[in-house]
Amino acid sequence: MVKAIQIGLGHWGFDWSKEVIPKVPSIEMVGYVDSNPEATERVKSELGVPDKLLFTNLEEAVKSSEAELAICTLRTEAHYPVAKRCLELGLSVLVEKPFASTIAQAKELVQLAKAQGRVLMVSQNYRFQPAPIAATELIGAQKFGPVNLVSIDFRRHAPSQGYRYWDMPDPLLADMSIHHFDLMRMVLNDNAKQVSCRTWNPPASPFGHHPIGVATLEFEKGTIVSYRGSWMSSGPVTPWAGEWTMDCSEGQIFWTSRDHFMGKAGPDRLSLQPRDGEASPVELQKLEFSDRQGTLATIARVIETGAVPARFSSGEDNLHSLALVQATILSASRGGDWVELAEILQ
């Protein structure tokens, strides 16, 4: 069992407390922290957490428990200071995406975790889903030979689905596309070399920043990914991981994942279509711990055994996904000019 505290009990954080943490048996909760007492009160009244486990101060929570792990489910701007303090206090850290606001902050946290001998993981929950796992295996085994082109579409209409972050800078690239970028790296088993991106805010949009973007990404092994993401789409909604067409020399792999929308949760889907043949669905494996339960069970296992399981998104690994966010934002600010990932990671 890994003793853990959770910091950040807001909208998404409370969902972790209620729906995720209790379903991972290797975690024993020893504290819940939020600077806002209303948030800790909610954990008490709705989940029955006793007073002695509720804190408005991180130091006190760590002092009065024997926590080994901090589950940081705060807004992005609080990730760096809170994760840093947790590492300094000797805890391992699981932090929500996006890892940090800048690459410099993220690098500092990676170094600090190393110096402290602690585990630092970013909760890239989309990695722990059946379709991207199957796609990773199929691409790795060259099921249809080398990849010609990867096309990804993400479409949502934020105004009609209770979206709350109208003033968030880069609501697409930093908050949403980070999942897609991280999945590209996982499924292709490769890192990006350079990107070109344009973003914009369409007329009548309630967003303060750009909710639509189009990017071309070139990976180290030469694969080109064409990516289109939109929070202001009137088209059919895609699952959260987007719709992926991986066109290879002998056929296409099509997949989607995290089909949760308006209270419905559909299964992941993956189909194979040989060139000039029919598409046929592939039966996908069920995971013991999927999505956020997957990231939490994984860090618990790393802490307990020291083994590094598949899909472990360490802070160090995640620098490359965060760099894709920064590179696409920089390219968009330069009107779509190519940006080398090396420029961002240096």
**Contacts to ligand NAD by CB under 6 A:** 7-13, 33-36, 39, 73-76, 78, 82, 96-97, 125, 175
Question: At its nearest, how many Å lie between ligand NAD and the CB of residue 200?
Answer: 22
Q: Which is nearer to ligand NAD, 124 or 196 (CB)?
A: 124
Question: At its nearest, how many Å lie between ligand NAD and the CB of residue 312?
Answer: 16
Q: Classify 23 as helix, strand or coil.
A: helix
Question: At its nearest, how many Å lie between ligand NAD and the CB of residue 190?
Answer: 23
Q: Where do the H-state alpha helices sit in the chain? A: 11-15, 37-47, 58-63, 76-88, 103-116, 130-140, 177-188, 291-305, 315-333, 341-345
Question: At its nearest, how many Å lie between ligand NAD and the CB of residue 297?
Answer: 15
Calpha distance 218→226 (Å, rounded) = 9
What the block records as the tokens of 238 is 């895609």
Calpha distance 322→21 (Å, rounded) = 25
Question: At its nearest, how many Å lie between ligand NAD and the CB of residue 90?
Answer: 18
Q: Which is nearer to ligand NAD, 76 or 191 (CB)?
A: 76
Identity of the residue numbered 333: S
Distances (CA, A) of 199 to 6, 154, 183, 231, 336: 35, 14, 21, 11, 9
Distances (CA, A) of 327 to 189, 195, 331: 19, 7, 6
Question: At its nearest, how many Å lie between ligand NAD and the CB of residue 337?
Answer: 28
Calpha distance 99→124 (Å, rounded) = 9
Provide CB contacts within 8 A for 282, sequence distance 6+: 134, 270, 271, 272
Q: Which is nearer to ligand NAD, 56 or 333 (CB)?
A: 56
